[in-house]
Structure 1
Amino acid sequence: MTLPAALRRLPLRQLVCLVPLVLVTVWVAGNWSVILAGVDELRGADRDWLLAAVAVTGACWVPVCLMRQGTVMERLPAGRLFAAQVAAGSANHLLPAGLGAHAVTLRFLQGCGIPTARAFAALALYSLAQPIGRYTLLLTLMAVYPHAIPLGGPLSAEYGMAALLVLVGGLTLVALVLWSVRPLRGFVRDFLRTALTDARALHTRPARVIALWTGALAFPACQAGVMVTVARALHMPVPTVDIVIAYLAASIVAGIVPTPGGIGSVEAALLIALVGAGSPVSVATAAVLGFRIVTVWLPLLPGALVLAVLVRRKVL
């Protein structure tokens, strides 16, 4: 039995990225009644809380801009930086692992006169700071509220071990590739040298340090705030701290699976986390649907329009 010709032409990375989407599709088909119950719950949600969720979603772009500014020595034009990040949010849903957003930001940084090597270094620093901020916020909340950890969700031992194995396997694969491909090894060595030089220079500038790490902590906090407001709109019977911890844990687990915009992996991890925190399945399903509508689908059209305008005006 052979694969269809169109499927055979797909690169392995694209096939891997399709796996979570296929699994989610299978889950949706087998749990359609739960999805319908979640939609019914969402229809009866408190509109004021949903409007608050939309407002917090808009505020999420501010810490992203702070982080981007904190990764370069040059002062970036604030208006164009904000517009570029709105556009990057839309492009982020086209490619896995944030590549769409990075591609837009790379073009923006180059347009601001930043050399390509340093622009790549800025993207690498951003990609490093973002999970550090998320982990720091999660671990701090777990230390302050040790009894608020949702059991049975992404913080359970099984999920933690699976995430660790995936991480170790990925690092091992990268190490093997670098060891076997000498030109790539040289490129990575030069890139790391540039990135470390820039990172050291940036951390001698208090304004850049504050922008970078304030943004790294504020962004996941804002995203968690969206999750809380959607949950409150649905009257979810789970304490606010539990919802925040559940969101942070789910986002970390979902980040291991490189799907475009986290589609599929985020929904699955969030649903498991919220149910593990004590939410009824129908309410958790409605909360996940509402969260993704507010944070992904609602900003998609304006983001695409901004992207088109920036490309037309040769900003990107």
Structure 2
Amino acid sequence: MSTPQGNRLRRLPLRQLACLLPIAAVSVWAARHWPIITAGGSRLLSADEYWLLVAVALTVLGWVAVSFSRQGATLQRLPVLRLFVTQFAAAAANHLLPAGLGAGAVNLRFLQRCGLSLSRSSAALALHMLAAGTGRVVLLLALVALSPHALSLDSLMPGAAGPVLVVAGTLVCAVAVLLVAVTPLRGVIRTFVETALSDARSVHTRPARALALWGGALAFPTLQAAGLVAVAMALDVSVPAVHLGIAYLAGSTLAAVVPTPGGLGSVDAALVIALVTAGVPIALATSVVLGYRIISVWLPLVPGALVLGVLVRSKVI
């Protein structure tokens, strides 16, 4: 028998309220960080607008690259337009939750709405994350091979290379031990691993899917690094583009150790330090990072939140 309280809860417009949550979160975030936004924006007013447009175009292409990689991680054909729009919305969600949880939750829901089971959706997300991380590291190593003296890990974080690796390794081991020790999780983990390995093998038997997965995984960090280079060119930074690309990839990779929402604070600080070690004056490096983050994060944040609300309302996610 239903209670009056239960009837009242069912009458609440929960889906409509869920649509407003991303917009409210963005509004609070923007209010808290408004001085940073205005500081970076004032520098951009005197920058070369053509290079800034290039940075905007590269940001949009980044969502296209992610869409390719997401499609490549699953055998089922996904609706192209909805897939791209979902990546745009997921980028906004990713800047509100730490460690990529926002984008992961949005894409998990999208894949389930497309008819994939929870296990296959989770396996597709895991394969995409593996490809994305591998692509970023491979690209960084390739650029370092081209210009080995651009910067080093010790110059990026003086004396901290060893501790960072130790902390990261300890966290990974602790999570692994916890998952194995908790008996109820063993069956779930076994099923997930079996599904993930089976789907990964199936994806790599289809050249088009494998090309989309790994091509998108390599293209996305390339476009991100190129976007930072474009902003640097707009502000007349006289440092080789390869050095700037290495600085971006090294800084963003190390910042991933600190799981802040959208890398806020950790990415900004790491990128500034990386650019300084690459030869950019600290004031100019700060302006470049703020300009890049405005274009790639803050400007798309409000429209991305609006799109996320529409997708929730229309039951796409």
TM-score class, shorter-chain normalisation, is 0.7 to 0.9
Structure 1 residues 143 and 61, CA gap change in structure 2 (3 angstroms): same
In the TM superposition, residue 166 of structure 1 has moved relative to its aligned partner by 2.0
Q: Match for 1:205: what amino acid? A: R
- Alpha-carbon distance between aligned partners in 2 of 1:81 and 1:134, rounded to the nearest angstrom: 22
* CA drift at 1:313: 1.4
- Residue segments in structure 2 that go unaligned for 5+ positions in a row: 1-31
Q: Which amino acid aligns with 2:126?
A: A
1:147 alignment partner, SS class: coil
Q: Does the residue aligned with 2:272 lie in a helix, a strand or coil?
A: helix
Which deviates more, 169-178 or 103-112? 169-178
What's the counterpart of residue 117 of structure 1? 119
2:133 alignment partner in structure 1:
131
- Structure 2 residue matching 1:146: 3-state secondary structure: coil
Matching of residue 197 in structure 1 with residue 198 in structure 2: yes
TM-score, normalised to structure 2, is 0.85
Q: 2:85 aligns with which of 57, 71, 83?
A: 83
Aligned position for 2:211: 210
How many angstroms does 1:259 deviate by?
Answer: 1.0
Alpha carbons 2:40, 2:294 under 8 Å: kept: no
Partner of 2:261: 260
* Alignment: residue pair count: 285
When normalised by structure 1's length, the TM-score is 0.85
Runs of 4+ in 1 over 4 A off after TM superposition: 34-41
Counterparts of 1:234 and 1:128 in 2: how far apart (Å)? 34
Match for 1:188: what amino acid?
I
- Does the aligned pair in 2 maintain the 1:150–1:242 contact within 8 Å? no
Equivalent position of 1:44 in the other structure:
46
Task: Tell me whether 1:286 sits opposite 2:301 in the alignment.
Answer: no
The C-alpha deviation readout for 1:136-180, integer Å capped at 9, x for no partner, is 0010111122233367643x6734323311221111211231233
**What are the ranges of 5 or more consecutive residues in structure 1 without an aligned counterpart?**
1-24
RMSD of equivalent CA atoms: 2.2
Change (3 A) 1:39 1:54: closer
| C-alpha contact 2:43 2:287 (8 A) present in aligned 1 | yes
Q: Is the 8 A contact 2:97 2:260 kept in 1?
A: yes
Provide closer, same or farther for how the CA distance between residues 39 and 60 of structure 1 changes in structure 2, counting only shifts above 3 A: closer
Match among 68, 71, 86 for residue 69 of structure 1? 71
Deviation at 1:217, TM superposition (A): 0.4
3-state SS of paired residue (1:158): coil
Once the two structures are aligned, what percentage of the paired residues are identical? 56
Q: Distance in 1 between matches of 2:64 and 2:37?
A: 33
CA distance in 2, matches of 1:248, 1:301: 26
State the secondary structure of the residue aligned to 1:272.
Answer: helix
Q: CA deviation at 1:44?
A: 2.4
